[in-house]
Amino acid sequence: MHHLTWQRLALVAAVAAVLAWAITRIAASNGYTPLTIPWTVEVVSVAAAVITLAFGWQVRQYQRGKRPSLSAIRAARTVVLAQASAYAGAVLAGGYGGYGFGVALEWSHEPRREVAISALVAAASGLVLLVAGAIAEHWCRTGGDDDEDAQRSMAH
C-alpha cells in the first residue's frame, strides 16, 4: 500500500476546486441560483475526522506496545479509513472551496455572500477531515513501505 503524499492530496483538491469553480461560474452566468451548503456537511466531516483520529490513535498505541489486543485486520482497516478520509477531505475542501470562491465573485449581493460563507466553512471542514486522515495514516505507518521494498528487490 502506498503512503499518502501531500502532493497527491493537493492535486486532488486543486482539480476539485477548479472543476467546482468552473461549474459554479457557468451555472451563475446561466441564471442559476446558488444553494447554501447545509450545516450537516460540517458536522459529518468533523465527526468523521474525530472517528478517524480515534482509530488511528489505537493503532499508534498498538505499535508502541500499549494495546496488544488490537488485531492486524483492524489496523489495516484503519489505514484504509485514514486514506479514504484524507482523499474525501481533499475533494470536499477543493469542491466546496471552488464553489465558495465562484459564488464569492458576487460578494456585494448579500444572499450570495451567505452562500459563499457557507461553502467556505464547508471547505474548512473538508480540510479538517483531510488533515485528520493524513495524521491517522501517519500513525498507522510501519517501518517500511511494502510496495517500495518489493520494487527495490525486483530492481536488484
For the record, the C-alpha cell of 40 comes out as: 450537516
pLDDT digits (tens, 9 = 90+) for 116-134: 999 999 999 999 999 999 9
Give the per-residue pLDDT at 1. Answer: 66
Percent of the chain scoring above 90 in pLDDT: 75
Give the per-residue pLDDT at 144. Answer: 57
pTM for the full model?
0.86
Per domain, the residue ranges of the chain are: 6-142
- The C-alpha atoms of residue 97 and residue 15 are separated, in whole angstroms, by 11
Mean pLDDT of 29-58: 96
Q: Higher model confidence: residue 53 or residue 112?
A: 53
Distance of CA 140 to the CA centre of its chain: 17
pLDDT surpassing 70 at residue 61: yes
- The C-alpha atoms of residue 69 and residue 128 are separated, in whole angstroms, by 30
User: Which residue in 101, 104, 103, 89 sits closest to 134, CA to CA?
Assistant: 89
DSSP symbol at 69: T
Distance of CA 13 to the CA centre of its chain: 8
Give the per-residue pLDDT at 149. Answer: 45
The pLDDT mean for the chain works out to 90
Q: What is the CA radius of gyration of the chain?
A: 19
Q: Name the region of 31 (left: φ>0; alpha: ψ -120 to 50; beta: rest).
A: left
